[in-house]
Amino acid sequence: MNQEKSRYQHAEHEFGPVYDQNSKVLILGSFPSVKSREQQFYYGHPQNRFWKMIAAVYGEALPDTIQGKRELLLRNRIALWDVIESCDIIGSSDSSIKNVKPNPIDEVIAHTGIKRICCNGEKAYCLFIKYNPELAVEIPIRKMPSTSPANAACTLERLIEEWRAALYLQ
C-alpha cells in the first residue's frame, strides 16, 4: 500500500479549454495524460486516436500542430476541455484518479451555444455526472467510446462511426 501511495502524484490541469462563442458541442475528457501535460495540449499521446477520429469525422487533414488542432475544433464548432482541474494520479491511469477538484464546466457553457456534451470514455462521463448533476439534466450528454489506446477493442473505424453520429447536431 505504501509503495502504491508513493507512486501517486498531485497534478494540475495547466492549459485552458478550447472554445468560442460558436461552439455547439463540448467534448470532455477526464484529465490530461502525462504526454498531454508535457505538450500542454489535449490528446498528446501519439497512440491516442482522438485527432485521427476528429479529422476523419469532418473529412479534414490530420493537424500536426497545436494551432492546427485548435483551428480544426473551432472551425467545426467543437469545444474541448477536461472534467478535472486537479487530482492525485499514477501516470496517465484514469482508474487511479482520486482527490478530484473539478473544472468549472458551467463557465464554458455560459459563453457558448453548447447543445450537447460528449464524454470521451467512461471515467469522463462518470466524473461529469458526479460533479455537474445540474448540467447533466439541462444539456443532452453522451458517453462515447474512449479514443485512448487502452480501449484497443474499439477500432478506429467504429470510433469514427460512433463519434460522427454524436457530433453532428440534427
Active-site residue set: 48
For the four alpha carbons of 142, 147, 150 and 154, in that order, the dihedral sign comes to positive
Q: For the beta carbon of residue 101, count every other beta carbon within 10 angstroms.
A: 11
Between the CA atoms of 92, 93, 98 and 100, what dihedral angle is there, to the nearest 10 degrees? 50
Spatial separation of the C-alpha atoms in residues 12 and 111, rounded to whole Å: 23
Which CA distances in Å does 7 have to 44, 70, 86, 121?
22, 33, 16, 24
CA gap 23, 117 in Å, rounded: 11
Smallest CA-to-CA distance from 157 within 72, 49, 62, 77 is with 49
